[in-house]
Amino acid sequence: MRLFTAIDLPQDIIYRLERLLMLLRPEALIKWSPLDNLHVTTKFIGEWPEDRLEELNDVLAGVRPCKSFDIEIRDLGWFPNERSPRVLWAGVHSGEGLRELAHATEEAVAQLGIPRESRDFSPHLTLARIKNPVPLKSLRDKVAELQPAAIGSFCASHFALFRSDPGSNASIYRKLREYRLESALAAS
C-alpha cells in the first residue's frame, strides 16, 4: 500500500479553499485537486507492506517533538516556476513547529529503512497539476489579481497516516491513524 503522513485541514479552511477554487477553475482546463485531497504532507513514505503497518504505527506514535503549532495558508504560486508551471500551489506558513514535525517524522521512519527526502521540506497545498500545455494567461492573471491570497490559519493538533489508492479521476486518500500533538498550553 502507498502511504504518507500529513496534517489534514479543518472544515473552515476547506470551505475557504473551495471558494478560492471556484474563482480559479474556470480560468484553465487543468487537473484540479479534489477538496478532499488537500492536506499538508509531512512525509511521503511510498509503498509499504500491509503486514508491517503496526511497526510503522509504533514508530509514528513515538514521533517527538509533539507540540501543537499554528499554520497559516496564504499566497499562491507555481512549481517549478510561473513560466513553465507543473503545479499551482497555496503556501503553507508555520513557525518551526511544522518543520520540526516533518524532520522528526523523517528521522523516525528512516529507522525502518524509508529513504530520507533529498529535497528541502517545502510545505504547500497542491491546488492543481498541469500535465499538458494549455493556455494559462487567464489563470496567471486571476492568480495575480487574488494576491496576496490570505486563506486562513488554524492550530495543528494532530498529524495522520494516510493511504493513497488510485481512483478513476484522482487518488483516494484514507486516514488510517491519527497522532495527537500535545497542546502548546499544556506543554508550557
Integer angstrom CA distances of residue 145 from 77, 100, 140: 12, 34, 9
Burial tier of 121 (Cβ tally within 10 Å: 0-12, 13-18, 19+): middle
Q: Which CATH superfamily is domain 2-187 in?
A: Cyclic phosphodiesterase (3.90.1140.10)
Task: Judge contact between 156 and 123, C-beta under 8 A.
Answer: no
* Annotated domain spans of the chain: 2-187
Q: Is the pTM of this model over 0.95?
A: no
Beta bridge partners of 7: 40
The enclosing H or E element of 73 equals strand 69-79
pLDDT in 10s for each residue of the chain, 188 residues: 999 999 999 999 999 999 999 999 999 999 999 999 999 999 999 999 999 999 999 999 999 767 899 999 999 999 998 889 999 999 999 989 999 999 999 999 999 999 999 989 999 999 999 998 899 999 999 999 999 899 999 999 999 999 999 887 778 899 999 999 986 554 44
